[in-house]
Amino acid sequence: MDRNFSEGHKFITLTYEKEDVTLDESARDFENWVKRMRERYGDFKYLAVRSFQKRGTIHYHLLADLPTIPRAELADGTFRDIWGHGSVLVKRIYSLPMVERRNKLKLDLLKNLRNFKADERSYGKRLFLQSKNLIVPPTIKGHFDELMERLKANGYVPKLMDSYSFETEFLGTIQLGTYRLTKQE
């Protein structure tokens, strides 16, 4: 999120009007929506999370770096009609601070992600959807202490920005940390 989306980008919710839409049906609808959006507004990046509403129907929450959408298209239903399956809510992102896990938007997306994963209908399905043009941070695997020593040996100073821990049934306590690396001069 932090590398791809910032203030001014959009937070969009796509909701179905009809009841009991299957995950496969919604996946096709979402892909078609992305194609129609790109035809109208050009290429854009997105990160989408699915969730089930209380009435059982799926809906999407997504971040997108769409350009400004003309007010007329929002007012006359043109933007909603591109979705074509129900309501569309568009909000401009006003705050998305780097590595701030208390950010309401991030917490809402994570809550929806957890709820989707906990639902048996999501079994075997991708947890979130993303465009291919996202900037993906590199993943470095290994023992924490060895990684920190290797970073320091290469002239980097890791600074802990955020820390979070949680319990899991099979692995016990998981500790997550977000670090900012600066190059020593």
DSSP letters, 38-95, are HHHH----EEEEEEE-TTS-EEEEEEE---PPPHHHHHSSHHHHHH-SS-EEEEE---
pLDDT of residue 44: 94
Position 114 pLDDT exceeds 70: yes
Q: What is the pTM of this model?
A: 0.75
- The Cα–Cα gap between 45 and 132 comes to 8
DSSP structural state of residue 121: G
> For 125-154, how does the pLDDT look when each residue is reduced to its tens digit (9 = 90+)?
888 899 999 988 777 788 889 999 998 999
User: Which residue in this structure is represented by tokens 């319990």?
Assistant: 167
pLDDT of residue 64: 94
